[in-house]
């Protein structure tokens, strides 16, 4: 029997359907009006019709019961109306198919109520509004005995939520499928409508809702656009340690607050940032021990220019203390803050950043910003000093230190020709 479902996927949706068949886990980052709810419901319907397990169970989960009923329920009934023998349970938001499959619409509001279920496939929509407990305590156990599939869907809503966490995970894990659908690339929303939305919403909100930017809601972001370009170019993801290359470090050393360390390798013109480490209220030996416990072969350790300041307690500089413990620092030059920021902006396009081991660096990069002066209606020239500043100071140390090192090596490599002219 041929069953005609009244659904014709667009080009981008068709590609997603194809890829979802290949992966057990997926993260779909989609712009508004992409049609993600219709797409995932139809994927569930097809899976329910073709699943060969006994009594297959599939679920669509929305943040609230109201969202599940007002948005997804009508779609589910519409797209299953041509399937003979289909039964719908309005009170339970349940669709039973003639082959024994069942698709249920659920909410994450009180996930304790759905403990104990089993699932062959689940799609969780608007993931930014869902708690981690739902996945850890309910969904993962529900999928385990059936080796079920899980698709996580949403539109960015800042970085302080699990959608951002799973987006980063999917970037670095080849077992996960990741797809980002930006409105400027899909052509689903007409250009004049995008222009109208931009004029009403403003760029920050527009970038979040239509361009799938996780930093779109951070006004005055200094490096946000560059990080977004790195993300779009596939330069944020898995960046494994290469044992054939030495590891370098760049530091921001806190005296009464956080110390941040960036571990990186240089491959020709490319900078591979493989790991970061940050802690607070620990003495210098703690961080040096962390370095020494790694299996890395180190080359250069770049430290801030103030390492030569004498400590009152022992009359030694931190540079001398570090040297006695086995780490010899090369000091980054002392430059104005804006020059350091410029150096970072020039460095970042050369970087590959490991999303798993450098998550604190990525969050800081996206957050680091200038504050808007409402009275003068301009952004203040000096960045806001907060938790992100320490990792950003370490990154400036990297950018300025490696540039000075390059210039120094360039000068050292000059030789004399036969006429004793320096070339």
Q: What is the percent of the chain with per-residue pLDDT over 90, rounded to a whole number?
A: 70
Indicate the angle between helix axes 191-201 and 203-210, nearest 10 degrees: 130
pLDDT reading at 380 higher than 90: no
**Residue 295 CB coordination number (10 Å):** 7
User: Residue 220 carries which DSSP code?
Assistant: T
What's the token pair of residue 237? 């993801």
Q: Does the domain at residues 11-217 carry the CATH identifier 3.40.50.300? A: yes
Confidence of residue 110 (pLDDT cuts 50, 70, 90): confident
Burial 169-204, CB ≥16 within 10 A → b, else e:
bbbbbeebbbbbbbbeebebbeeeebeebeeeeeeb
Rounded to whole angstroms, how far apart are CA atoms 186 and 64?
28
Could you give the count of Cα atoms lying within 13 Å of 270 in the half-sphere of its Cβ?
A: 10
Residue 312: the pLDDT is 57
Mapped onto helix, strand or coil, the DSSP state of residue 54 is: coil
Distance of CA 386 to the CA centre of its chain: 21
Q: How would CATH label the architecture of 237-412?
A: 2-Layer Sandwich (3.30)
Q: Could you tell me if 250 and 271 are in contact, meaning their C-beta atoms sit under 8 angstroms apart?
A: no
Is the pLDDT confidence value at 420 over 60? no
Backbone angles phi, psi at 197, to 5 degrees: -65, -40
Domain regions of the chain by residue span: 11-217, 237-412
Q: How confident is the model at residue 1 (pLDDT cuts 50, 70, 90)?
A: low
How far CA 223 is from CA of 105, 304, 368, in Å, comes to: 40, 21, 7
pLDDT one-digit tens code per residue, 248-280: 999 999 877 899 999 999 999 999 999 999 998
Two domains, one topology: 11-217 and 237-412? no
Q: Which of the four pLDDT bands, split at 50, 70 and 90, describes residue 411? A: low
Whole-angstrom Cα distance, residue 4 to residue 169? 37
Contact 300, 266 (CB under 8 A): no
> Which pLDDT does position 408 carry in this prediction?
65
* Span 186-201, pLDDT tens digits: 999 999 999 999 999 8
Q: What mean pLDDT, rounded, does the chain reach? A: 90
**Alpha-carbon distances of 276 from 2, 98, 290, rounded to whole Å:** 56, 54, 11
How far is CA 359 from its chain centroid? 8
- In this prediction, residues 296-312 reach a mean pLDDT of 88
Tokens of residue 156, six digits: 């960015």
Question: Residue 335 above 90 pLDDT?
Answer: yes
Q: Are 165 and 158 in contact (CB under 8 A)?
A: no
Classify burial at 11, counting beta carbons within 10 Å of its beta carbon; exposed 0-12, middle 13-18, buried 19 or more. exposed
Q: Which of 141, 159, 5, 109 is nearest to 150 (CA)?
A: 141
With 50 as the cut, is the pLDDT of residue 418 above it?
no
- Nearest Cα neighbor of 121 from 162, 84, 153 is 153
Query: HEC states along 106-137?
Result: EECCCHHHHCCCCCCEEEECCHHHCCHHHHHH
Residue 400 binned pLDDT confidence (cut-offs 50, 70, 90): very high
**Residue 112 banded pLDDT, cuts 50, 70, 90:** confident
Stretch 383-409: mean pLDDT, rounded?
Answer: 88
For tokens 């390059």, the residue is 406
Backbone angles phi, psi at 179, to 5 degrees: -135, 130
């Amino acid at each position: 029997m041929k069953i005609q479902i009244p659904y014709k996927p667009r080009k981008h949706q068709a590609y997603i359907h194809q890829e979802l068949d290949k992966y057990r886990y997926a993260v779909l980052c989609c712009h508004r009006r992409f049609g993600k709810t219709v797409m995932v419901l139809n994927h569930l319907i097809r899976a329910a019709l073709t699943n060969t397990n006994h009594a297959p169970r599939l679920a669509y989960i929305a943040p609230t019961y109201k969202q599940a009923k007002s948005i997804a329920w009508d779609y589910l009934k519409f797209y299953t109306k041509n399937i003979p023998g289909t039964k719908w349970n309005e009170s339970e938001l349940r669709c039973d198919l003639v082959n024994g499959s069942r698709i249920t619409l659920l909410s994450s509001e009180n996930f304790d109520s759905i403990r104990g279920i089993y699932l062959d496939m689940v799609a969780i929509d608007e993931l930014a509004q869902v708690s981690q407990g739902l996945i850890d305590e309910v969904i993962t156990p529900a999928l385990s005995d059936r080796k079920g599939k899980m698709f996580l869907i949403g539109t960015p809503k800042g970085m302080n939520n699990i959608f951002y966490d799973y987006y980063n995970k999917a970037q670095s894990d080849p077992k996960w499928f990741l797809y980002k659908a930006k409105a400027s690339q899909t052509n689903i929303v007409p250009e004049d409508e995008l222009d109208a939305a931009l004029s009403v919403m403003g760029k920050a909100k527009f970038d979040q809702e239509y361009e799938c930017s996780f930093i779109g809601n951070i006004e005055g972001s200094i490096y946000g656009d560059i990080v977004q370009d790195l993300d779009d170019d596939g330069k944020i993801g898995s960046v494994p340690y290469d044992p054939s290359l030495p590891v370098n470090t760049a530091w921001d050393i806190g005296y009464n607050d956080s110390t941040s360390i960036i571990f990186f390798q240089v491959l020709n013109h490319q900078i591979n940032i493989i790991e970061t480490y940050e802690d607070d209220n620990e003495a210098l030996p703690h961080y040096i021990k962390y370095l020494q416990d790694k299996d890395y072969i180190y080359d250069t350790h770049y430290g801030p220019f103030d390492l030569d300041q004498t400590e009152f307690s022992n009359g030694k500089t931190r540079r001398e203390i570090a040297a006695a413990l086995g780490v010899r620092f090369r000091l980054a030059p002392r430059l104005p803050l804006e020059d350091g920021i410029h150096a970072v902006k020039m460095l970042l396009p050369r970087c590959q950043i490991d999303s798993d081991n450098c998550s604190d660096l990525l969050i800081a990069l996206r957050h680091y910003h200038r504050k808007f002066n409402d009275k003068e209606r301009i952004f203040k020239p000096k960045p806001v000093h907060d938790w992100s500043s320490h990792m950003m100071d370490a990154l400036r140390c990297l950018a300025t230190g490696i540039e000075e090192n390059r210039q120094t090596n360039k000068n050292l490599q000059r030789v004399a020709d036969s006429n004793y002219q320096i070339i």
